Structure 1
Amino acid sequence: MPEAFITTSKNDLPDQTEPMPGAVLNVRDLAVHYKTDDGTVPAVNGVSFDLMPGETYAIVGESGSGKSTVALALLALAPVVGGAVRLAGRDIAAMGRTELRRLRGREIAMIFQEPMTSLNPVLTLGYQLVETIRLHQPLDRPAARLRAVEMLAKVGISDPARRLDQYPHELSGGMRQRVMIAMALSCNPRVLVADEPTTALDVTVQAQILSLLDQLRAELGTAILLITHDIGVVAETADRIGVMYAGQLIEQATASDLFETPLHPYTRGLLASVPRVDLPPAGGPLAALAGTPPRPGNTPPGCPFRPRCADAMAHCTTMPPEVLRGRHSVRCWLHAR
C-alpha cells in the first residue's frame, strides 16, 4: 500500500482510531446490513467518528449514502453487524431491551426525518409530551405538564399552555418540528440526533430551526449530530463535518477546514453545487456532479466514487483507498504517495 500523508503535521492531531478524550459518543468501524429479498445489503461500512459535549457534528451526503442508517444505529434501531457505538463509555449494542428503553429519550434522543408524520395525529400535543417526560423523569402529571409548557416556550411556541390541548393538524410544519425538538430535549439528553430536521420546511423556517438547535445546544450543553443532504445548511451551524458516500465517511474536518480546503473530489463537487450569488455567471447553469451514487450492495470495486470522479487513476479501479487520519481526514488516493 502507498505510504499515506496529509497536508498538516500528524503530531498535533488526534488519531481517529482512538476515542477522543472527553467524547460523549464514540463510533468505531460501524457496519449496518439490511436483509432484503435480493440478499444482504451493506448500508454502512466502517464509519468512525466522535462527538464532544456541546458540539454539533454534521454528516452530509446525497440521499442513499447511509446517513439516516447511521442515525438509527446510534439508538440501536438498525441491524448493526460490526463495530461499536459507545455512549459515555457504555456499549449500546450490548444493551438489552429494558436498558435501551431507559436510554432512548433520556440520554440520547432523536428528531426523526418527517415533522408532518412524527406526531400521533389522534393524541394531543400535551398527552405526547407528558408521556415522554413521565417515562424518564420522576414527575407526577401536573409537574410533567408544567415541564412540557416550559419546553414549548423554550423552542419559541407562543401560548404554550393552550397548545398542549391542540392536535398536530392544528399546527404548521415548522411548529410541529419545534414540538418534536421540545419533546427530544424535554429530558435533557446528552446527545441529540437530528435527522434532516428541516425537511419539507421553507427556507425561512429552516434558518429558524437551525438557529434554535444552535441556541439550545449552547444553553443546555447537548451534543448534536445533524444529518442533512444539504451541505449549505451546516456552514454556520456545525463545528465539524463528515462527508458520507456509499456507506462510508470519505472526509472529516472542522467546518472551516472543509469549506476552505476540501480534499475529496466528491466534497468539492458538493460545494460547487451550492448556489452562490457572489460568483459568475449570474443566472448561469448550476454545477452538478455527473452520474448517480451506487446502489447499496452494488458498489464498484476500488473507490466507490471512481465512476463519477474526473481525477480517477488506474489503481482507483481495484484498490479501496485508505483513510488518511488526522484533524482533516480523507479517504482518497489523490492524497497518498
Structure 2
Amino acid sequence: MAEAKIHVPTIETKSPARSYNQEHRARKPTSAGRRVSVYVSWSFPGEANRNLAELDNRFSTMTEVRRVEWPAWEGAEWSSPLLFQQGIAGALELFFRAWIPFQQLVGEVTGHAVPVFQRVDQAGYRLPLDERVLGDADTLFIFGLDHNLTQQDASAEEIEALRQWLSREGTCLVLGPHHDVGASEDRNEREMEYAHHGDALVPREQRFGRYTRSLMQGLGVPVENRYGLRPGVIEGTRQIAPLTINRDLDTRGWLEGVTNFSFHKHLPHYEVTANDANAVRVLARQPIDLSKPHPFTAAGNREFNTLVWMPPAGSRAGEILVVDSTVFSTLFGADDSVKSFWKNLVRAREC
C-alpha cells in the first residue's frame, strides 16, 4: 500500500510582517460572513516542557521529526537552531504553520480574520473559554490537542459559558478531540496499535482529549474519542480512501462536494455512546487500512466514525460537530474536497 507524502510547508519571505503579543479586538457582525475562531486546548508550556526521557504522552521534538522524516525537513529554515526551535516547541509550531492555509481560506470566504487562541500560550498567559473568546464568534473550532496528563479540564464556568453561547441562534461548535493511542494496559495490544498506524513519531501511549472530553461531558455530547486508526488508501495510489457518507442524514449539506478528508496515520474513532440516531448523526465513516491488525478491526470493524453532527435540540440553538483537527491542517496537504468541507463549515448561512 502506497505511503501518503508529507507536505512540508514553505516559509514565505515576502509575506506580510508578523506581530506578536497583540490583544484580540472583537469583530463586528456582518451579513457577508461568519466570524470564525480557533481555540487550542493545550498548555503550550505544559507540552513543550515535557521530559524528553519520558517515552510516552509527549509530542516529538523537531530533531526527532527531522530524523524520522529525513530529508524532508533538512532545509536550513527547519534544521538551523538559529532559525527554528529544535525541541518540542519547534514541533508544536508546525501546527500553527499548517493551520495558516485554513485561516487564509476562511478569511477570504468570510471577510473576517481568524484568530487562534491557546488555553495557555507560549508566554504563559492563560485564557479560559469565556466571553473573550466566545463574544465575537459565530463558529468556534476547539482543537483537542492537550495530552491528558497536562490536566486541562473545562471548569463549570467554561461549560456554562459555552452552553449559553450555544443558546444563540446560528452558532456552530466544532469539537476536535484527537486520537487516544495506548489506552490498554496490555503492552502487546499497545504494540499492535503502534504497528498498525506505523508512525515512528507516535509513542506506544499517547492519550489526548481530556479538555474536549470534559466539555462534551458537561454539554451532554455522547461521543468518545478512541484509538488512532490508519485510514485506507486507494489501491496503487497515495490518495486516502473516500469517505462512506450518509447523505440522507446530512440535511445541512456539511459534506456537499466532499468525497474525502486528508490523510493522517492515526485518526480517532468517534464512538457514539447514545442510541438516538436522530439527535446524534454519524455523517461520515472512514475505511481502515486492514494490512496490519488492530483491536478495533479484530472486533469486526472495517470503518471508523470520522464526522458526527448534533443538530439543534431543546434550548441548544447551535450546531455541534465532532471531527479531528487534522482535517484543518495541511501537513499532509489539503485537496479540493477538504477545502470544500472548510467552506461548508463557515459559509454565511443560517447553520
The structure with the greater share of residues assigned to helix is: 1
Alignment TM-score > 0.5, same fold: no
Q: Which has the larger radius of gyration?
A: 1
TM-score computed with the length of structure 1 as normaliser: 0.30
TM-score w.r.t. length of structure 2: 0.29
